[in-house]
Chain A
Amino acid sequence: MSDVLAVAEHRRGDLRPISHELITAGRELADATGGELHVAVISGDVEAFADSLNREGVDAIHTITDGEEFNHDLTVESLDALWSALDASYLVAPNSVNGLDYVPAIAQRLDLPLVTDAIGLSLEDGLEVTRERYGSKVETTVAVADDAGAVVSVRDGEWPPAEGVGDATVESFDPGVDESAIHSTVTGFQEVGAGDVDISEADFVVSIGRGIEEEENLELIERLVDATGATLAASRPVVDNEWLPKNRQVGQSGKTVTPDIYIAIGISGAVQHVAGMKGAETIVAINTDPDAPIFDIADYGIVGDLFEVVPALIEEFGGETA
């Protein structure tokens, strides 16, 4: 019997959806051994959060009232204290940006093996985690030795959110965190990516990725956009290179778009990109690599060289040819 502790996530007053997905993933692990599922929620309006986290399958919710917003030092200290008070074997946490900021530290603190970005879990002869390598092109299973337990971070969108209303006990936990243990100070938040266009409002998006190779080549895509009336967007490397401004970036750290049609050109389909465009009604991919993960979510595809396909497309619409 192994208990599981899942750690909820919230930001600026709202629970993030991964919190309810973690309950499903955590329950799965707990069920495999007949253990209990505990949920921890740290900082902010923990009582309201606890209400929302009390879904079917949760046995206990531990609220920690210190702090308002996420702070990794407070989180690590709190989880360390809570872990000692419980008798759990597995800690499941979000593979979010804030997850990246505390999960490796709590695993190190507890001296537990860490497997990040899980997309599948099984517990037959010990824990086995499915995860990806090489930007989704290869999948692996990783087995965790012995039964010492583990810390697992979970990719968002892979488990359905837990539903229903549970009958968990809700208890306040005082981790007794000493102020001297808090090293980093959050001084504020800043929204980025404002500007002339809002790609999230567009019905028809043409998005360009690293396949464009050089800044000069962007002109080709601009001619396509002019000929079709599409809105121009991009994957991260194009924006990192400052070939396009930040407000054109689609993905986890950029914008979420939901157009009728999204044409991904020279974009591999990394999970952080897909996070921002999987809600498009129809997805078209143009890529030289038939195994590019973008084809897994595309409705239509062209396996081909953008430097041949795009000029032909411009010609179709009577656009300016080079």
Chain B
Amino acid sequence: MQILVTVKEVGQLGDEVVIEDGEIAESALEYDLNEWDEYALESAVQLSEAYDDVEVVTATIGPERSDETIRMALAKGADRAVRIWDDALTADGAGDETPADGLLDTRVRVELLSAIVEREEPDLVLSGVQSADAAFASTGVALAEEIDDAWAAVVNDLEVDPDAGTASVHRELEGGIEELTDVPLPAVLTIQTGINEPRYASLRGIRQAQSKELTVLDLDDLGIGTDAVTGALETTALYEPETTSDATIWEGDAESTAGELAAFLRDSGVIEG
């Protein structure tokens, strides 16, 4: 069985938001493996431990910088990695590391990832529910439709029966209700946080990851023309939302702010005694 895990390197904002030329300044971002993909990867690695002959391959669309994140995924148990990047996918069209707006269009991400699916022919594709930065929450399900796989979104419990060729999943709905669904393989599942306990990379894993295969492909390699990655969406503005806050902020050191809050709680009557 082959499992393909889509892993995205996402930028995470610190306390300071710095916006330059209508984009978040790179200096304000820390790059890491997308939280949801961390859980998807763990699910895949656990399956590879539970069954014989399971290969776990990661797929990433991203600049060279992502290799560090990909190596971490390899250190945690993926067998090899594929990364797609091309000048045509960069904002300036010439290799800058900022992704082009084209990648906002789900159809473009699907075009690229489905080319990997075609090469690898996985039995199962695991992706995250959403990326923490762009948060479209659309890639996995759109990919499934494109490659004619079955699918399930927002999966927080997963059992795979490779012999029967099915996955039994729980889909986490709103309000503490889960939907129990059976999906035939090959399938694409979008994985929700909390489904498992993602492992830390061991030192041995980190060492081994260095020698695992990481294939980098560009549009030519995939036989995809630049037209197919233009996309129909364009970011026209990016800003910090105007605060709608009319909160009273208690100022001062910890003692005095805690004092204010304590006084407020006593006045409100919620504290007994």
Contact = CB atoms under 8 A, between A and B. Distances in A.
Do A and B come together as binding partners? yes
B51 interface: no
A315 B259 CA distance: 10
A252 B193 CA distance: 14
B236 A128 contact: yes
A186 B170 CA distance: 10
Contacts of A246: 176
> What's the dominant secondary structure at chain B's contact region?
mixed
Nearest to B192: A253
B189 to A, nearest CB: 11
B172 interface: yes
B129 A100 contact: yes
Interface residues of B, number: 84
B183 interface: yes
A27 B73 CA distance: 46
Interface in A278-303: 282, 284-285, 288-291, 295-303
B13 A138 contact: yes
Given A138-B239, A309-B258, A188 B180 contact: yes
Nearest to A188: B180
B137 A117 contact: yes
B176 A193 contact: yes
> What's the dominant secondary structure at chain A's contact region?
mixed
A281 to B, nearest CB: 9
A240 B42 CA distance: 14
A220 interface: no
Nearest to B137: A100
B132 interface: yes
A97 B262 CA distance: 39
A191 B153 contact: no
A236 B254 contact: no
B234 A108 contact: no
A302 B236 contact: no
A22 B27 CA distance: 39
Given A100-B154, A189-B178, A317-B262, A312 B255 contact: yes
B254 A97 contact: no
B272 A229 contact: yes
Contacts of B261: 263, 284, 300, 302, 309, 313, 316
Contacts of B260: 302
A58 B211 CA distance: 61
B146 interface: yes
A219 to B, nearest CB: 18
Given A100-B141, A105-B151, A317-B271, A133 B265 contact: no
A141 interface: yes
Nearest to A106: B145
A13 interface: no
A133 B174 contact: no
B183 A184 contact: yes
11 contacts: A100-B137, A105-B144, A116-B137, A117-B135, A137-B13, A145-B234, A203-B270, A204-B270, A295-B245, A301-B248, A316-B261
Given A107-B142, A116-B136, A313-B261, 14 more contacts: A104-B138, A105-B142, A105-B145, A105-B151, A108-B146, A113-B105, A115-B233, A150-B232, A184-B182, A188-B180, A191-B176, A295-B247, A296-B243, A299-B248
